[in-house]
Amino acid sequence: MDQTGSNNVVTFSEILLTLRKHIKLILSTTVIITALAAVVTFFVMTPKYSAGTQILVNRKLSSDMAAAQLQTTQADIAMISTYKDIITSPVIQDTVKKETKNLPGSADSTVSVATETNSQVFTVNVTATNPNTAASVANKTANTFKKKIVKMMSINNVTIVSKATADSSPVSPKISINLLAGVVLGLILGVGLAFISEFNDKTVKDEAFLTDNLGLTSLGIVNEVSQKDVDRQIREQSNGTTIERTNKMRRRV
């Protein structure tokens, strides 16, 4: 086995040692990124509210065509994608915007249509910066669609199953998700900075670094001595010298 290659393998214990060594950097980075995510969530991002109204389009059949009811139902379900395009088209939305232009935040409202599998009922969802505006725009969209679809496709059996109501709970920003994302991003960034710092650290940590990596010959090791140990050695030597002088004086006497 190549000795150089084996020396470049990072063990799990070395990873843990690096993380423990830079734990303050990791924690501080996590706190900073999470704090930034909180500031953006609470003070920068504008809360948005959602409201939805359900619509049913069901063509009525005469008694002599009752046998074709199943086929008609399947056709109505297939037509929902067409209704969706009509609702979000300028034909409907231009009228809705004119009638709701005085509502706060109506200019920034967005309209979407949600469907369920094998269901003739679909939901018109509106998102706006004001909960009352979201409900008003949703209801106005449903009513406008109900009126215009009669002339556009000769359909006169549109039922508004449920009207939109204002909901004071914002759908965005999602506070818990944003904060969790800040914590995760902070941890990832902190760990990355820790390993970059360790990789760029050229400090000689052991004798193997000199002999294996630099190809130098080790002449010996000088251990680090703290100032406390130096002071203790001085005191011990001073006390030993004093005792020796005292003993000499006693012998002379």
For the segment 110-150, what is each residue's pLDDT rounded down to a tens digit? Answer: 999 998 887 888 999 999 999 999 999 999 999 999 999 98
Determine how β-strand 121-128 pairs with β-strand 49-57.
antiparallel
pTM reported for the whole predicted model: 0.67
Full DSSP string of 185-225: HHHHHHHHHHHHHHHH-----SHHIIIIIS-PPP-------
Rank 49-63, 169-183, 192-206, 221-235 by mean pLDDT and report only the highest: 169-183
Residue type, 80: I
* Residue 173 in this model has a pLDDT that exceeds 70: yes
Residues 76, 72: Cα–Cα separation, whole Å: 6
